[in-house]
A and B are shown apart, each in its own frame.
Chain A
């Protein structure tokens, strides 16, 4: 089945550590890719998106993600995390060969940053 996989369910880091959250998808063809963040008790907010062009995408709050087409991956990175980055992170794929409004989300990765 077509899917979006986030391999890390819960990541615990100390402040200033580097972060990489994995995201792989199994849809073929052209896709639009997103990372969303959900802070405790809040709704999802867009961190960054990739539609085309430079595969290294810069987002808000120092986050970036790299699209590697050959690996069907869109991993999220941040060089130095802060306590305020504690949240749940969702990778999402819009497989444009399907219904264009059909956004598929990964199961999420919970990030806990220890002060």
Chain B
């Protein structure tokens, strides 16, 4: 079972560049989320989706956009990368509200 797949695993960007972090799940989960993990701060929710066509902001949404055109995919876009966005990004999915989340392997993003 693939579970939650994130690509790429590593990426280095220059300030001002844009990119999309991909996330796909094959478990038919309705709920998907993006988190960033920073040292000493745990995971912070960026954006989440409760189903195709429905997204909402989490705790730290600024500088990020998301869309959910299909149940399987939930890409995260950085329109103009900033050094403060250097982090490890995790995508997660769950079958229902408040249920345990399945996490992807993460994307380590460095912005120079």
Contacts and interface: CB of A to CB of B under 8 A. Distances in A.
A42 B105 contact: yes
A29 B44 CA distance: 22
A43 B90 contact: yes
A4 B100 CA distance: 17
Contacts of B33: 101, 103
Contacts of A107: 40-42
Contacts of B110: none
Contact of B42 (A49, A51, A90): A90
Contacts, number: 62
Contacts of B31: 101
Interface string A18-41: 000000000000001010000000
Contacts of B90: 43-44
Among A34, A90, A105, A106, the one with the most B-chain Cβ atoms within 10 Å of its Cβ is: A105
Interface in A93-115: 94, 96, 99-108
A49 B100 contact: yes
Interface in A27-79: 32, 34, 42-46, 49, 51
Given A42-B105, A103-B45, 9 more contacts: A9-B40, A32-B98, A43-B105, A92-B43, A96-B97, A100-B97, A101-B97, A102-B59, A107-B40
6 contacts: A6-B42, A42-B105, A92-B43, A94-B98, A101-B56, A103-B33
Interface of B: 31, 33, 35, 40-45, 48-50, 56, 58-59, 90, 92, 94, 97-98, 100-101, 103-106
